[in-house]
Amino acid sequence: MIGRLQCVVLDCPDVLELARFYQALLGGVVNQPDPRWAVGDDFSTLHTGSGLVLAFQWVKDYRPPRWPDAAHPQQFHLDVDVPDLDQAQNQVLGLGATLLHADARGWRVFADPAGHPFCLLRG
């Protein structure tokens, strides 16, 4: 092993908005004090209960991915297991997500408020 994952950083136009979106989706603490990062107007963090840290970095003239358009690739995506797809879908839509694709096999693709794709899977 060369290293250990510290966090996943997502570019976005509004760091606090996206941190709060993922807090509502995954739980955790937004901008928890941590000596590894300085949070502010251009950088925010989410420490989840599982130990995963997501970070959100402001980008001037941010251009969201357009799934599945290869000219604007998704750059990354998160897979999130949920016990009830319909309930989870209603919840993320209420938080500002957009449904991009529903698959009969038990997964759905959404875009977060900044346009990053993420999947909900029947866990």
> Which pLDDT tens digit goes with each residue over 6-37?
899 999 999 999 999 999 999 999 999 999 88
- Give start-end residues of each CATH 3.10.180.10 domain in the chain: 8-58, 78-122
Q: How far apart are CA 88 and CA 115, in angstroms?
A: 18
Mean pLDDT, to the nearest integer, of 68-89? 86
Domain 78-122 fold:
2,3-Dihydroxybiphenyl 1,2-Dioxygenase; domain 1 (3.10.180)
Contact predicate 119/100, CB 8 Å? no
Q: How far apart are CA 121 and CA 82, in angstroms?
A: 6
Percent share of the chain, pLDDT over 90: 67
Side-by-side strand order, sheet with 43-47: 8-12, 53-58, 43-47, 29-30
Among 103, 119, 95, 110, smallest CA distance to 24 is for 95
